[in-house]
Amino acid sequence: MENSIRGIHHITAIAGNAQRNFNFYSKVLGLRLVKKTVNFDDPQTYHLYYGDEQGTPGSILTFFPWEGIATGRRGTRQATEIGYSVPVNSFDFWINRFEKHNVVYNKPAEKFGEQYLTFLDPDGLKLELIASKTADSRLPWETEEVTADHATKGFHNITITTNKMQPTADILTNVFGYKLLEQHVNRFRFVTDAVENANIVDLVEVPGEHAGHVAGGSVHHVAFRVQNEEVLMQYREKIEALGLHITDKIDRNYFYSLYFREPGGVLFEIATDNPGFSVDEPVSELGMRLKLPAQYEEYRASLETTLPKLV
């Protein structure tokens, strides 16, 4: 499995107010802020990474918080739902917590034999808590209010909405090594056995639906995981051979990346496990200080003044 796609590496979304985003994900959901850095292309904007204790691939949700950005619209050509794995029998805790913090949610429902609880973040990003029917032994990050009995363990799945599912399915199966596991009406569940968790992609096919608009409260891209740079470049050759445009290798400090837009319109990234989030600060201190790409280090004083303080 060393040369395989190993499920989801991270998911990146767009937010509005940075403090509001930090409050929700670190305090309400109880995720760890594992890295506080800036957008490589817009250093006046944070890039915030949330995950488990070490920022393990498959647990990492990241945000570009652009103050004042317009609200996006869910539709096709988008990743539309982010699913987190939670312990069975934790929904009562989460419903009470959502009530306490005025979080918009729906009553629990079921798909593919699993109970799930849908809710929205403050920008309207759609998320789900899922009581997985397969064992999830991952250790969650705990806080005083969100303990291991209820805490999220990392991603369960990502849902992509598309007008025509087959071209996207071909990338998942023929390139990434996923297999169709189940189908219910217009939802197709694909899974890879290269890893035990964060290994599910659901494709929802809605031929007549309008394309969504990626902005605030939207997923920007979905990153899939590989072991190292050698495997990364093997996938670059495979994707380029299909006639799809794919970027050169990009150093993102904590992983190396390639980006391409799959035929259904969603921006996919392939990202390496190495070097990881402890490359520039110890695990015990992850997320405590602003970390900057080398090209922006000379602007640190200015950026520390202009970027909003997160408390």
Residue 136 and residue 119: Cα distance in Å, rounded? 21
3-state secondary structure of 275: strand
pLDDT at 205: 98
* pLDDT mean over 251-263: 98
pLDDT in tens, 178-223: 999 999 999 999 999 999 999 999 999 999 999 999 999 999 999 9
By CB atoms closer than 10 A (0-12, 13-18, 19+), residue 274 is middle
Q: In one letter, which amino acid is 218?
A: S
What digits encode the pLDDT tens for the residues 52-63?
A: 999 999 999 999
Give the confidence band of 3 by pLDDT, cuts at 50, 70, 90: confident
Average pLDDT over residues 69-87: 98
Q: Are 160 and 43 in contact (CB under 8 A)?
A: no
Q: Domain 8-306: state its class.
A: alpha beta
Residue 275 CA from chain centroid, whole number = 19
Q: What residues does each domain of the chain span? A: 8-306
pLDDT band at 146 (very low <50, low <70, confident <90, very high): very high
Q: Do residues 247 and 233 make contact, with C-beta atoms less than 8 angstroms apart?
A: no
What tokens were used for 34?
């594992």
- pLDDT digit string, tens, across residues 85-138: 999 999 999 999 999 999 999 999 999 999 999 999 999 999 999 999 988 999
Q: How confident is the model at residue 263 (pLDDT cuts 50, 70, 90)?
A: very high
| Predicted pLDDT of residue 1 | 61
pLDDT category at 241 given cuts 50, 70, 90 is very high
pTM over 0.85: yes
Residues in the chain: 311
pLDDT bracket for residue 2 (50, 70, 90): confident
Identify the three-state secondary structure at position 27.
helix
What is the tens place of the pLDDT at every residue in 155-186? 999 999 999 999 999 999 999 999 999 999 99
Predicted pLDDT at 82: 98
